């Protein structure tokens, strides 16, 4: 007897003359197809789109930076002449620079009575501070006015991703124009390393920060008031990492198969129940008539 491979067919075919189409079955089939199409499009949208997963860990993510962090500062002092404005940097490694001018620019405001300071510089990955003051001026003014507006203070690479909401420029827009002109301003920053990894595996290193501030009048040892805008910073050991991911293909195929199989099965059960109930009702009616 020759071997017949058709014996392994688990999808046995029923002749058409043994099947009975119904209006109810047609409606359920149409609704079933529409429902499957809706679920398929929903899953396809989710498969094409990317998701961003975040995690926390203790590490220094950018070990190739040489222990340095890039800083971008943009601040306006509308009542202080540009000749008096300077940037000083100090930290716990012994760095002490007064009147830093590298990669900085001073733009006169209010017909020369004010100044807008824009600078890019690096700081060490240790606690320290940088401050805008008149300390580097050749002659100290009698009444320096430190009222200001901070347009930007950012650390590390520029990171602009729509679905990543973070405090990368927490002081942007800070307005202290109504403050005491002779007051010093202390901004206490807690810097948090942040890593963003896209689908290609490219990593970008940035820093978020939280801020607290206070305002006070400080006197020098000679009794003069020398106000400044202080940014005192410390680094958090916790790193925030955002990873861009896409759903694997095998998971998408598995979900589609589950949608098709599950929908057909449920629709078949519903159709069978309706058909059985309909036939039972017909038999009851025939019994009553007889």
Give the pLDDT confidence of 119-159 residue by residue, as tens digits: 999 999 999 999 999 988 888 888 889 999 999 999 998 88
Residue 56 host element (H or E): strand 50-58
For residue 10, the model assigns a pLDDT of 65
Partners of residue 187 on adjacent β-strands: 213, 231
- Across the chain, mean pLDDT equals 87
What are the two backbone dihedrals, phi and then psi, of residue 179, each rounded to the nearest 5 degrees?
A: -80, 170
What is the mean predicted confidence (pLDDT) over 265-280?
84
Instruction: Report phi then psi at 220, rounded to 5.
Output: -80, 180
Q: What is the pLDDT of residue 142?
A: 83
pLDDT in tens, 11-68: 677 777 667 777 878 888 888 889 889 988 988 888 887 778 888 888 888 777 778 9
pLDDT of residue 289: 60
Q: Which residues of 216-238 are buried (b: 16+ CB within 10 A; e: fewer)?
A: eeeeeeeeeebbbbbbebebeee
Q: How far apart are CA 155 and CA 185, in angstroms?
A: 20
Cα separation, 146 vs 225, whole angstroms: 11
Token readout for 118 is 């824009």
pTM of the predicted model over 0.75: no
């Amino acid at each position: 007897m020759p071997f017949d491979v058709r014996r392994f067919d688990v999808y046995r075919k029923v002749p058409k003359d043994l099947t009975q189409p119904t209006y109810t079955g047609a409606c359920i089939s149409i609704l079933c197809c529409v429902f499957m199409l809706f679920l398929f499009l929903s899953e396809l949208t989710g498969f094409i789109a990317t998701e961003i997963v975040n995690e926390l860990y203790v590490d220094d993510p950018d070990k190739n930076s040489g222990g340095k962090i890039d800083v971008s500062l943009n601040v306006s002092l509308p009542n202080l002449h540009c000749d008096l404005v300077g940037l000083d940097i100090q930290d716990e490694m012994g760095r002490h620079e007064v009147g830093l001018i590298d990669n900085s620019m001073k733009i006169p405001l209010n017909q020369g009575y004010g100044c807008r300071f824009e600078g890019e510089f690096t700081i060490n990955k240790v606690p320290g501070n940088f401050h805008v003051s008149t300390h580097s001026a050749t002659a100290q003014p009698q009444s320096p006015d430190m009222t200001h507006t901070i347009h930007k203070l950012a650390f590390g690479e520029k990171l602009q991703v729509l679905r990543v909401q973070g405090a990368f420029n927490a002081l942007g827009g800070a307005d202290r124009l109504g403050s005491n002109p002779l007051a010093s301003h202390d901004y206490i920053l807690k810097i948090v390393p942040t890593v963003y990894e896209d689908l290609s595996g490219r990593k970008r290193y940035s820093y978020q920060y939280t801020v607290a501030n206070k305002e006070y009048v400080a006197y020098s040892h000679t009794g003069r008031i020398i106000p400044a805008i202080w940014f005192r910073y410390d680094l958090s050991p916790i790193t925030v990492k955002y990873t861009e991911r896409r759903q694997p293909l095998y998971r998408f195929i598995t979900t589609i198969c589950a949608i098709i199989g599950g929908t057909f099965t449920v629709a078949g059960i519903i159709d069978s129940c309706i058909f059985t109930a309909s036939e039972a009702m017909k038999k009851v009616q025939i019994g009553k008539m007889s």
